[in-house]
Every structure is written in structure tokens, then in C-alpha cells.
Structure 1
């Protein structure tokens, strides 16, 4: 991991000298007037080659909107997204598919494999879209699937695969265009513990071995040990993790305003009702969580 990289946990910025992703003032507003919603509000973020950046936050915090803008799938209201020196926010609409095909690999929660195609054909199609065709595409797909230990599944259809195998096919497909940047949206959400950890290790490997910039948005705490930086996105802003209350049951930083209770004169905050209920079964088992930060702690 690139633990020595200087970073700021509220802006998500690093030394931009060799950054694969550079974002400044990124904003997305949905609606107008009194109904306007600022889903992402002036976010700065860099991700360097070889780095895994994990973006976490509550539902509705803007994580998916942020990822869509990073992937040039959604136009921002303001700000810039520069991928390998190319400002995708100023590119014409007709240029965006080519930019995505050249610079970005996508990994999705629901795999998004084409059910009518075999494993090999799913990856070969991605190669075709990236400009590699014929025998070259066939060989590249075979090499990528072999890398993810899927050579024995190349003629299988997606419905014949386990969830972990489907996500490994999706990882192989994401590399079809040899992208400098991989964006992953909840890549372990539909996987059990074993397969989730396997995918986390593979994402780490793509950063360390391939020197790709990896940005993951997820609720999955299992991904934390594999990330160089963990950023918390709430109400469209990044926040300091160490200034947030911590759920005493699972140890997760949580936003003030969620499930909470007062015990022995202390306000205690939880990520979900389940953790609160578990705490109540034996309060003495858990350390007290710190009080929530003030509104000026962002």
C-alpha cells in the first residue's frame, strides 16, 4: 500500500504530481429553486496510480453520484474531473464514450454481465469496444480470465457461475481496455464473506501490481484494510473520520442523527438499529462511543 502518501481526509487530496484522477470543486445539483438538492457539493479528490481510495457514507450521501461523474457518465453542475491529464468535464458528448473506453474500467454491484454470452464472450466484447478485435481480443480475454483463475469457466454462461466468479469475470472485463483508473460501485455487496475478501484482495492487487488508481464506493467495512485512504462522504461533503461518533458495537464511524441512546449520561450513536439493539443486551461489554461532533467540524 502507499501508506506514505501525504493526504487530507476531508478533501481526499494527495500530491497531484502523478495523479491518475484529479477532481476539483465537483458539484452536482438536481432540481432548481426550493426543490434543488446538492447531491455532491464542491468535492476535491485525487487518486494516484497504485492507490486504493475507499469512499464510504450513509445512503443518499452522494457516493453513486460522485462515481458517475468520475466515470464521465453524468455531467457535473460545476467543477472539473481530470483523468490522466484529460478534462472529461469539458469534452463533447460524442467524445465521452471513447474517453471512457480508453481510460476507465468499471466494476458494478450487480455484475452487469450479458446473460446470453459466455464468460469469454463477455470479456471479448469489452475488448472489441476498446478497439481490440479478432484473434487479439480472443487472446486478451483468455489471458485476463486466466489471471483471475477462470480459464475453466470460459464457456460457461453467467447463470452457471457463483457470485464470486461473476465478480471476477467483471474484474477481467474491467481490464479489457487496460485502464489507468478502475471505478468500483459496491463491488462486494452481493458476495459472502469469503468471496468479498477475495474481490477486495484482487482490487488491492490491481493497484499495487498494475499501478492503477482504484476508487471504490461501498458500505462494506471489509474493504477498509485494503484501502490506502478511507473517505467519509456525507451530505455531499467529505468529513474527518476521527471527528465522527463511533458505533461501539461494530466500530464504524457514523453520522450524528442516526440511531442513538443515552446511557450513564453519555450519548451513544449507532450505524443501525441492529447495533443499538445488540448494545442494549449487554452495555458493559462495549466501550462508550464519543459524543457527536459539532456542526462546524467538517
Structure 2
């Protein structure tokens, strides 16, 4: 009923999943800081998530984590499981999973991955996901997980159609207040669930990501930002922060930017060195 990828990029771990099943994000994915990521599906057993992660935390590799889940489970042949640990990965497909069902796992310089699916249109779904994952090397974990998921969807995905999708990922110091949650985004019921997940993830990144490429608030850029903020009702000073005027350092623009960003929930991307390019793009979008 589902296709998923558990992946690792350095210290970050996560899972992306899509299915013709609502609320799939409540069932399939889990990840733990410093430990790994797990996806349980087909006739999913939610307890596999904690069992596998506990096995990894206890020093076992991904194969041992799979064995800890499936060994005592009489229903294991109806289940699928993907596990990625700090230095290992594994995928399990029971013999009774509905066609097409299977998976692939591997490791590259930045970490491991485990891809699996059942009731798929064919083997090419997991193959497309693997190619997309490998081709996205150098990107962030959430971007790479999403790329793999969208590739699987484009290749055919769940043979029954689309309904739910989710991405859960953790990374040290990431997310709101540095809690470690890089992304926790779910699409519970949508006819184009993977594409809706992509849209929501872009918002998640804007709100919970930290400043990346920062441009100095000087000269023509300060003028532009000042005009746009003024059009939204924020006081920036008469010259909108341009150099050589009454506010040569752009202090009025910077203060107005902080006020607007706080209203729009972009405060995690504020920087004393200028304006984050993604915040600038959001400001331009809002002001036309």
C-alpha cells in the first residue's frame, strides 16, 4: 500500500512516504537523533519503530534491528521494514506482501538509505527512487528524501493511486528552538499527496530553517526592501534605508524587516548581516 525511503545525510536521519492510505504519516515513519530512521509498512506494525530504534541504540546494526522486529512476529511475512542506522542499512519485504513488493538499500559517503514499496506499479518505482536519491548527493536530507519520493510517484507509485504522504526527519540543533526536528510534515488526505507534501515542505523550510544565503541590506537592495515593507505598513524611515541618506546603515529597514518577519513567522531566518534570500523571495511574493 506504500512506498518509502529511510535515509541518512551525516548526522541527519529521516523517512519520506506516500500511499493510497490516509494518515500514513501517523503509521510509517520514525527517526531518532543519533540513532537512525525506520519505516514500517504493508501490514504495518507500529511497534517495529521503537523496537528497531532501540536495537540500533543498543549497538546493533540495521540487520539486527530487522531481526529484532521480525523474529518474534508471526505476521512478519505480511510486513515491510526499512532501517537506516549510523553505519548500516537494511530493507525487509515479507513473502506475503502484495505485488509488486520489494526494496533496495545501499550506502554512500554521507550515509545509508533503504527504499521499499508494496502494491506498486512495478520494480521501476524503487529503482527510480534510488536513482533520484543518488543523483541528489550534496543536497539536504529533506530535499533528497523528497526528490526520491517524487521520483517514485512519477514512476507509478502506489498502483491504487494517491492519498497520503509524509516526511519526518531529525538533525542536531535543527527546527524550532533547536529541538532537533528538521521536518514533521504530513498530508493526510489529498488527491495529489506527494505534490502537496512538496508544497508544505517548502513552507516548513522557510519557517523553521535558519538563514542561509544572506545579502547585505545596503544600497539598491535596502531601497527595494524598504519600499516593499513600507507598502505593507511598516515604518522604515523616509529614505527606506538607502546609503547616504538619513539612515545610512539601513537601521530603519532592518527594524521594519524584523517586525514584518515576526508577523510572518520568519524570525528563525533573521540575520544581523542582512536579509536571507528566501525571506527576500517571500517579501517579493507578498508585495507583488
Alignment TM-score, normalising by the size of structure 2: 0.31
Higher-RCO chain (CA-CA 8 Å, sequence separation at least 6): 1
- State the structure with more CA Rg: 2
